[in-house]
Amino acid sequence: MAGKEDILTRTRIDEALNALPDWRYRLGGLVTVFKAPTAAAALELMAAVGRLAEEQNHHPDLDWRYNRVFIRFTSHDAGGEVTERDTAAAAAVSAAASDAGATAEPGLYRTVELAIDTPDAGEISEVWRVALGYKKGQGGDLVDPYGRGPSVWFQETQTPNSSRIHVDIHRSKAESDPVLAKTEATGALMDRDHAPDWVVVTDAQENRLCLCTEEGYQPGG
């Protein structure tokens, strides 16, 4: 059982990732994608990950898409943050993936959140929680208890944007530059005041989205 005292700092996470090139840090978890030679090989890799999870009593979120396996490790008993159990599990899974002939494509792992501008989050959050079947997470965020849907967070402001709901798309900084360049090439307005943490993108109809990276995100934040 992990506790708050077991949460790794960003410095320790970054140090661990130096030895885990297949993985990226993302919003309190370690994430990656493995591409297997075939769909059957991907299923075999998932079975291997399942066996490791049982041995270590530490279970990831797994998502199978044909010959690719999307994986996320986090320590739920430490508040949904990274602990040494996650780094150890990630190393074991990378070894299993190598044995299965799978290659890492961590840049494919994207995380999507919905953000809502509001002067009073408490006035509306319960509506969204009940309708979505979510639970409350850190700082009043709403999260899917099964890790399937995007989380929802409330940006409290006395001057809500005319487009109150926007999408946050999280990618690793290592893979973000091509996406930023391609997005800018569409003619979208790019506000880079907070880059590389996030870039605010506005389309021709003034709808917003944010392209975010792990920069600036601190465990427990």
- Please provide the CATH number assigned to the domain covering 111-212: 3.10.180.10
Position 221 pLDDT exceeds 90: no
> Residue 93: which residues within 8 A CB-CB, separation 6 or more?
49, 52, 60, 71
Query: Tell me, what's the pLDDT at 3?
Result: 59
Taking the CA atoms of 45, 46, 48 and 49 in sequence, report the sign of the dihedral they define.
positive
User: Interhelix angle for 39-56 vs 84-99, to 10°?
Assistant: 150
Position 2 pLDDT exceeds 80: no
Could you read off the pLDDT of 83-128 as tens digits, one per residue? 999 999 999 999 999 999 999 999 999 999 999 999 999 999 999 9
147 — pLDDT class (breaks 50, 70, 90): confident
Q: Do domains 4-108 and 111-212 have the same CATH topology?
A: no
Backbone dihedral angles phi then psi of residue 218, each to the nearest 5 degrees: -110, 140
Question: How is the chain split among helix, strand and coil, in percent rounded to 5?
Answer: 35, 30, 35
Asked if 74 and 29 touch (Cβ cutoff 8 Å), the reply is yes
Residue 157 CA to residue 6 CA, distance in Å, equals 34
Could you read off the pLDDT of 157-193 as tens digits, one per residue? 999 989 999 999 999 999 999 999 999 999 999 999 9
Query: Tell me, what's the pLDDT at 78?
Result: 85
Domain 4-108 of CATH type 3.40.50.300: no
Mean pLDDT, rounded, of the chain:
94
Q: How far is CA 113 from CA 27, 40, 48, 100, 148, in A?
A: 11, 31, 30, 32, 12
What are the residue boundaries of the structural domains of the chain, listed by start? 4-108, 111-212
Query: How would you classify the pairing of strands 165-170 and 111-118?
Result: antiparallel
Percentage of the chain beyond pLDDT 90 is: 88
